[in-house]
Amino acid sequence: MKHKIVVFASGSGSNFENIVLKSKENYIPAEVSCLVTDKAGAGAIKRAIRYGVKVVVVNWKPRYLGEKNALCVLEKENPSLVVFAGFMKVVSPEFVSHWRGKILNIHPALLPAFEGTTNAIELSVEKRVRIAGCTVHFVDESVDGGPIIAQAATLIDPDEEIEKIEQKIHSLEHKIYPAVIKGILEGKIIFDQQNNRVIFKDNKMQLSSIFSIEI
């Protein structure tokens, strides 16, 4: 039976769409069964409708009710992975405890730089960083502090238009996120719960395909 993935997104949904496409192409051995969003106006919704993916809008105010409803969706869908793709909410330890080792997040910076913020790209530009990038990690009780799975970096010119820098980072995200999801579903990337770290079954993967630097 094919794996199921549930994606959580609050924004435009370019990562969501990319994951849907990669699963339709069978690069990711799974079907995106549902989009969960906390924003009724999220661009991700239109993309989901275009690809026939079920959408559930969950009101996140108050958080405990949002999480309760989201947990019900997850219980029903029973996905192999819960993928946060531009989901701008911090989930509680209680939420994490139900899906530990199965929740992924992507952050548009080289963590631990610019952790815990929803505007990491703007802050990177403000701080005039020259090497920017993105990180995929498992979600734990901390904010953006869970075990790192993959990172990709690119040189940037902080005087460049922010839209161009965003595009560069998004294009890295669109490469590493599907690669990580594929690696986990194929059993090549494993969450070691006892030590709260990541194990790579395939050494080549650890060294090359999901850790990349573009110059």
The footprint of ligand GAR (CB under 6 A) covers 9, 11-16, 85-86, 106-108, 118, 120, 134, 170, 173
Read off the amino acid at residue 181.
Answer: I
The answer to whether 125 and 162 are in contact (CB under 8 A) is yes
Residue 42 beta carbon to ligand GAR: minimum distance, rounded to whole angstroms: 8
Residues 6+ apart with CB under 8 A from 70: 8, 36, 58, 95
Residue 30 beta carbon to ligand GAR: minimum distance, rounded to whole angstroms: 18
Instruction: Look up 170 and say whether it is catalytic.
Output: no
Residue 105 beta carbon to ligand GAR: minimum distance, rounded to whole angstroms: 7
Nearer residue to ligand GAR within complex by CB, 143 or 190:
143
How far apart, in whole angstroms, are the C-alpha atoms of residue 24 and residue 32?
9
Residue pointed to by tokens 């139900």: 98
Nearer residue to ligand GAR within complex by CB, 192 or 214:
214
Nearer residue to ligand GAR within complex by CB, 2 or 105:
105
Residue 142 beta carbon to ligand GAR: minimum distance, rounded to whole angstroms: 13
Nearer residue to ligand GAR within complex by CB, 145 or 190:
145
- What's the angle, vertex CA 183, arms to CA 153 and CA 34, rounded to 5? 95
Annotated catalytic residue, options 107, 137, 170, 174: 107
Beta strands in 58-210 (DSSP E): 81-84, 103-107, 131-138, 148-155, 189-192, 197-200
| Residues tagged active-site | 107
